Amino acid sequence: MSLFEIYDLTVEYSDGTESLQGVTMNIEANEVTCLIGPAGGGKSTFLRVLNRLNDLADVKKVSGKVMFKDMNLLDPKIDVIDLRRRIGMVFARPLPLPLSLYENVAYGLRTAGERSKAKLDRAVEQALRQAQLWDEVYDRLDAPASRLSGGQQQRLCLARTLSLEPEVVLLDEPTSALDPISTAKIESSILELKERYTFIVAPHSIQQAGRIADHVAFFLQGELVEYQPASEIFTRPRDKRTEDYLQGRFG
Amino acid sequence: MIARNRLTEIGVTRLIQLAGFSSIIFMGMILYFLLTEGVPALGEVSLRELFSSRWYPIEGFYGILPLITGSLMVTIGAMLIAVPFGLCAAVYISEVAPPRLAAVLKPLVEILAGLPSVVLGFLGIVILSPFLRRFLDLPTGLTAFTGSLLLGGIAIPTVISISEDALNNVPRSYREAARALGATGWQTIWGVTVPAARSGILTAVMLGVGRAMGETMAVMMVTGNAPVLPSSLGALFEPARTMTATIASEMGEVATGSEHYHVLFFIGIVLFLFSLVVNLIASRLVFRSKGRAERVLS
Ligand SMILES: Nc1ncnc2c1ncn2[C@@H]1O[C@H](COP(=O)(O)OP(=O)(O)OP(=O)(O)O)[C@@H](O)[C@H]1O
Ligand SMILES: [Mg+2]
């Protein structure tokens, strides 16, 4: 059984745009699944369905079925707080909270009610190591997070998400604002950690998808055009539109 | 063409400089006037007398201590009311209320912030003070507490409207980041949104304090105007008198250049120092957590 089983997912915003139309796909555990496609294709919308962040946007209609293990994520009665701890998310712009480094990483655990200083310390260190940031910041954990460089801030955001030990990590163009070194560090974190976590990424370039993806889904104007193992889609795309996109003919 | 552009550039720069300098010059002139009229009081009345507890100018008693405590009492009381209520209301409007309701509430609050204080003072005399007298069973309803309540009411719209702006300016993505970590709506508000808006909220509080401390008419109308040094907390429910009310009510009757006249200006200086201190504390608090570079940049 796949980790996510998605049938006929359709999302419509209140201004009438259908951002996703009848998307059906399975996502496997402990893999990196990349969502590619031109702007407005629905990648962000798709990710935000998975952790129910779309609840905060003015979405008019969501239909279909999104099974995560044996839970239907579209069920309005599920505990979204708990869900978001199990399915974490990193955004395009590095967004440290207006707190210290340490408190940023500990934030999720604290809101979840963790009090033990020892446990928090351990979780913070482990998360920072996983995000390959520990060596750069271990001696100034009390400094405000806004002092870090953009690339460090983004790794901090990754650490913050990992600190909750989620099952799935969603990343929406996590490196679009970063320098090559931080980008490489985030990519290598993803590859190293995929044994423990499942990653679903909207990469900021096709090349990035090529470097990290196990599976690739191509979204075009809300439609899932093609979904294949990475090796397949890059060498033998089945759909003409995928081929055009991969060769840079649009988007 | 390029030369003309350069000329306009220089012209605009000069104009803005002039505007900036003139406001500084005006401030300087006001301060100079305040000092030349107020400092002579120190020569005419000894310091010990000035800071004694009896204000009775007709017989030459110029103790301004009761006026200072009167102002402090009324202002602090007002802020204890205005800050929590104002902040909660701002959080409600910006974070909780459905957008349609917020769209109605916001302009309403702004209209309230613009109400002339005499009108509020009038309401204070006619409604608030008789109500308090009966409800708390006091000999008179014109007390420091009445002033605090009224001033609190006056400051609330200011506090709401400015802190609401500050909350609104917190990027939506902060809230989403917190929510994505599994924070609840309230955890996000108190843990992330409010702290992120704290410098704006502090500004709101300071403007509220400024409004409360500088307020004259409404306070004069409802505090009972008795310059008494408070001896216990119970004094909150007795008549009191603030510095502003004293200046406003007595300035019309004094002979220019007299002792009394100079002392009134000296009270003005004290008032000025108070607001200076409030502002200094505020900027300390705002800047404390910011680095030097950020301070220079912002
Ligand atoms: N909050 C919203 N309200 C209304 N429409 C929205 C909202 N968010 C996204 N949309 C619309 O949904 C469609 C899909 O947007 P989405 O952000 O999911 O695309 P994307 O593939 O992530 O694009 P990009 O590569 O630019 O990030 C777009 O047409 C967009 O205009
Ligand atoms: Mg997007």
For the cut 60, the answer to whether the pLDDT of residue A237 exceeds it is yes
Which residue's alpha carbon is at the smallest distance from atom 11 of ligand 1? A19
In a domain, B65, yes or no: yes
CATH value at residue B245: 1.10.3720.10
* pTM summary value: 0.80
Q: Which residue of A has its CA nearest to B289?
A: A144
The single residue listed with the structure tokens 């985030």 is: A186
Domain extents for chain A? Answer: 2-246
Residues A66, A80: Cα–Cα separation, whole Å: 14
Q: Residue A170's pLDDT is what?
A: 96
CATH number at A2-246: 3.40.50.300
Which amino acid would we find at residue B196?
Answer: A
CB contact under 8 A, B176 and A56: yes
Q: What percent of chain B has pLDDT over 70?
A: 95
Please answer whether residues A182 and A174 qualify as being in contact, where contact means their C-beta atoms are separated by less than 8 angstroms.
Answer: no
For the cut 90, the answer to whether the pLDDT of residue B5 exceeds it is no
Q: What percent of chain A has pLDDT over 90?
A: 78
In a domain, B162, yes or no: yes
Parallel/antiparallel/unpaired status of strands A168-172 and A198-202: parallel
CB contact under 8 A, A89 and B180: yes
- pLDDT band of B137, cuts 50, 70, 90: confident
CA distance, residue B202 to nearest chain A CA (Å): 16
In the three-class reduction of DSSP (H, G, I as helix; E, B as strand; rest coil), residue A139 is classed as coil
Residues A89, A104: Cα–Cα separation, whole Å: 14
The pLDDT tens digits of the residues spanning A76-99 come to 899 999 999 999 999 988 888 888
Better pLDDT: A236 or A250: A236
- pLDDT band of A17, cuts 50, 70, 90: confident
From B280, B225, B228, B279, select the one nearest B247 (Cα to Cα): B225
Parallel/antiparallel/unpaired status of strands B55-56 and B61-62: antiparallel
CB-based burial label for A220 (10 Å; 0-12, 13-18, 19+): buried
CB contact under 8 A, B183 and A146: no
Cα-Cα end-to-end distance for chain A: 34
Nearest atom in ligand 1 to the alpha carbon of residue A222 is 14
Q: Which residues of A touch B191 (CB under 8 A)?
A: 97, 107, 111
Question: Which one of B175, B180, B195 has the shortest CB-CB distance to A51?
Answer: B180
The pLDDT tens digits of the residues spanning B238-273 come to 888 899 889 988 888 888 888 899 999 999 999 999
CB contact under 8 A, A91 and B191: no
Q: Residue B282 to residues A180, B253, B274, B285, B287: CA-CA distances in angstroms? A: 41, 37, 12, 5, 9
Residue B81: domain span? 39-297
Residues A251, B165: Cα–Cα separation, whole Å: 38
Q: Which residues of B touch A146 (CB under 8 A)?
A: 294
Q: Residue B264's pLDDT is what?
A: 93
The count of structural domains within chain B is 1
Please answer whether residues A161 and A131 qualify as being in contact, where contact means their C-beta atoms are separated by less than 8 angstroms.
Answer: no
CB contact under 8 A, B179 and A160: no
For the cut 50, the answer to whether the pLDDT of residue B297 exceeds it is no
Backbone angles phi, psi at B234, to 5 degrees: -60, -25
In a domain, B8, yes or no: no
Residues B257, B84: Cα–Cα separation, whole Å: 44
In a domain, B1, yes or no: no
For the cut 90, the answer to whether the pLDDT of residue B88 exceeds it is yes
Ligand 1: residues whose CB is within 6 Å?
A: A 13, 15, 17, 19, 37, 39-45, 57-58
In a domain, B26, yes or no: no
Q: Residue B288's pLDDT is what?
A: 59
> How large is the average pLDDT for residues A179-188?
92
For the cut 80, the answer to whether the pLDDT of residue B287 exceeds it is no
Q: Residue A99's pLDDT is what?
A: 84
CB-based burial label for A61 (10 Å; 0-12, 13-18, 19+): exposed
Count of Cβ atoms closer than 10 Å to residue A146 Cβ: 17
b/e map A206-218, b = 16+ CB within 10 Å: bebbbbbbebbbb
Q: Residue B291's pLDDT is what?
A: 43
Mutation site for A-interface testing, chosen from B95, B170, B174, B181 by largest number of A Cβ within 10 Å: B181
In a domain, B128, yes or no: yes
In a domain, B93, yes or no: yes
- pLDDT band of B294, cuts 50, 70, 90: very low
Mean pLDDT of chain A: 92
Residues B13, B170: Cα–Cα separation, whole Å: 32
In a domain, B119, yes or no: yes
B→A interface, C-beta within 8 Å: 173-184, 187, 191-192, 195-196, 289, 291, 294
Give the ipTM of the model, two decimals please. 0.86
The pLDDT tens digits of the residues spanning B187-243 come to 999 988 998 898 899 889 988 888 888 788 888 888 888 888 887 777 888 888 899
